[in-house]
Structure 1
Amino acid sequence: MKKRRLGNSELYVSELGFGCMSLPQDKKAAEEIIEIALQAGINFFDTADLYEDGNNERLLGSLLAGHRDKLILATKVGNKMNPDGNSWSWDPSRQHIATAVKESLRRLQTDYIDLYQLHGGMMEDDVDETIDALESLKKEGLIRQYGISSIRPNVIERFLQKSAAVSVMMQYSLLDRRPEEWFSMISDFGASVITRGTLAKGFLTLDGVHRAEKTNGFGTYTANELVETLTVLNEKTEDIHASAIAFNLSNPAVSTVLVGASSNKQLLDSVVAYEEGADASVLQALQNAVKLDQYQEHRTEL
């Protein structure tokens, strides 16, 4: 599997990354999925301290312990679980980050985190304090690089302006092209994009039309628009799953596309789709058949 450089960093990540949020909590089932990912050449694994109240990190740490030196391990910080155990609050403070990173390191069974990502952000945040806390973790050797996971252009731009962040995680797919407007800005700051939602909740798979017929739409697509659009897309490509992954990777601002899996088949399907790829002419035809929406809120002037 090919690798791409993450921003201006020394980190090189597999073009297909594994998003661990949907990893089953059953250890044996999860172990089989992780083994498939490793055999396929996936070296980038992304989780968050919030997922399953830390249990996702704990599970991943136990499964990857014997492969740590070959992997790029990413997690996120900023959402603090409330005492009720059912809700969380936003806390990007230095104190919380300093405490949370140690807990993540313990759960992940590692001495360092390759990519530590701010798990959101608001313009009301004391961004200087947050960035200073992340820079301190780099100096201590607890993290190698840091980035941000956000879909708010104004938050992203301010964070990149003031920091040495190397990545921005954004929801991006053929059915949600809003981030494209900001890709050049992200690249200009020396960062690259990590895409989540690459398969648009499964709509960009061979089962997508069937799924769409049971939903109320997606993004700005109404239920009818979604079915009609997916029907057209499937007419223009023999494998929409392969084309969806190839579409995201066709933009040079993107370093890796995340796919999740709760079963062996789901991950194998994505690995096969990645390997299949798609011709540029097919990708252009698909691009012409979908909307080019823009973020309506949290905007900034380019």
Structure 2
Amino acid sequence: MKKRQLGNSSLQVSEIGLGCMSLGKDAAHAETIISAALEEGINYFDTADLYDFGVNEKIVGQALKHVRDEVIIATKVGNRWNEAQDNVKWDASAAYIKSAVKDSLNRLGTDYIDFYQLHGGMIEDNIEESISAFEELKKEGLIRYYGISSIRPNVIKKYAADSAIQAVMMQYSLLDRRPEEWQHLLEENQISIIARGPVAKGLLSKKMLTKASNNVKEKGYLDYSYEELAALLPTIQETLPRPLTETALQYVLANPSVATVVAGASSVEQLRENCQAVRGLPLTEEELAALKKLTKENVYTSHRE
């Protein structure tokens, strides 16, 4: 598995990472998927304290304990469960970040987190305070690097200008090309994109519209109506006669700002299919141009200055 540098850090991450949210609460089942990921050469594992009330972190930490020094564990902070665990509130305060990291470390069973991400972010946050908290955690050796998981343009611009973030996690796919607007800004600041949602809820897989939810059938997906998707997906498949998942993942990886594509997997079979797609031939300039002509160059319309 090829690796890419994360930002300007010392971390070399596999071109595909495992999004752990979809692993579920069955530890034995989750460990089979994580073991397969390790066999495939994946070294980047992405979890969050939000997932299953912290259970996900426990499962990931236990499954990776025997290879801790060989892998990169990323987790997130900012979404705070109430005591009843039936509601989440946003908390990007320094006090909460410095408290939550200790809970994550305990659940993960590790002394340090390789990559700690703010799980969202709003322009109304005291961003300077949040940055200060991450910098303190770095100095204490509790985290190695930090970043944000945010789609908000004004937040991204603020962190790019005022912090030492190494990456921004953003939803990015052929059907959601909004991160391309910020590619040059991130490149100028040596900040990587961590791409999530590369197969657009399964629409960009061999199952295509059979994976469409009732909501997609009624309202479409982002800037695409259901009727547009019904016409577009087969056209993409016909234009590039290779597995659609391979086309989808290779499109995202063709962006030089992307360090890793984070894909979830609920089965070993799905994981191996994703890894095979990443090992496929890179798209040619002609193929990239054809895909960009077929799809929409959409942009974020809110959270802008």
Does the alignment reach a TM-score above 0.5?
yes
**TM-score normalized with structure 2 length:** 0.96
8 Å CA contact 1:209–1:231 kept in 2: the answer is no
Query: Which stretch shifts more, 139-148 or 77-86?
Result: 77-86
Q: Tell me the secondary structure at the aligned position of residue 202 of structure 1.
A: coil
Amino acid corresponding to residue 255 of structure 2 in structure 1 = N
In 1: Cα distance, 2:288 partner to 2:188 partner: 25
* Residue 297 in structure 1 maps to residue 284 in structure 2: no
Amino acid corresponding to residue 148 of structure 1 in structure 2 = I
Determine the structure 1 residue equivalent to 2:59.
Answer: 59
Determine the structure 2 residue equivalent to 1:21.
Answer: 21
Q: Tell me the secondary structure at the aligned position of residue 7 of structure 1.
A: coil
In 2: Cα distance, 1:225 partner to 1:89 partner: 36
In 1: Cα distance, 2:94 partner to 2:166 partner: 20
Amino acid corresponding to residue 221 of structure 1 in structure 2 = Y
8 Å CA contact 2:36–2:268 kept in 1: the answer is yes
Equivalent runs, 1:6-85 vs 2, <5 Å = 6-85=6-85
Equivalent runs, 1:87-98 vs 2, <5 Å = 87-98=87-98
Determine the structure 2 residue equivalent to 1:220.
Answer: 223
Determine the structure 2 residue equivalent to 1:234.
Answer: 237
Q: Report runs of 4+ in structure 1 exceeding 4 Å deviation.
A: none
Amino acid corresponding to residue 98 of structure 1 in structure 2 = K
In 1: Cα distance, 2:289 partner to 2:136 partner: 44
Equivalent runs, 1:79-228 vs 2, <5 Å = 79-212=79-212, 215-216=217-218, 217-228=220-231
8 Å CA contact 1:212–1:226 kept in 2: the answer is no
Which among 239, 259, 272 is matched to residue 268 of structure 1?
Answer: 272
Determine the structure 2 residue equivalent to 1:283.
Answer: 288
8 Å CA contact 2:117–2:146 kept in 1: the answer is yes
In 1: Cα distance, 2:270 partner to 2:252 partner: 19
Structure 1 residue 213 displacement after superposition: 8.6
Structure 1 residue 126 displacement after superposition: 0.5
**TM-score normalized with structure 1 length:** 0.97
In 1: Cα distance, 2:212 partner to 2:79 partner: 32
Percent of residue pairs identical = 50
Q: Tell me the secondary structure at the aligned position of residue 80 of structure 1.
A: strand
Residue-pair matches, total: 300
- RMSD over aligned Cα, in angstroms? 1.2
Q: What are the superposed Cα offsets for residues 89-139 of structure 1, whole Å, 9 maximum, x if unpaired? A: 000111101110000000011100000000111111001110000000000
Structure 1 residue 24 displacement after superposition: 2.4
In 1: Cα distance, 2:170 partner to 2:211 partner: 23
Structure 1 residue 26 displacement after superposition: 1.1
Query: Which stretch shifts more, 63-72 or 263-272?
Result: 263-272
Q: Tell me the secondary structure at the aligned position of residue 276 of structure 1.
A: coil
In 2: Cα distance, 1:213 partner to 1:226 partner: 13
In 2: Cα distance, 1:192 partner to 1:249 partner: 12
Runs of at least 5 residues in structure 1 that lack an aligned partner in the other structure: none
Amino acid corresponding to residue 117 of structure 2 in structure 1 = Q
8 Å CA contact 2:198–2:248 kept in 1: the answer is yes
Structure 1 residue 84 displacement after superposition: 2.2
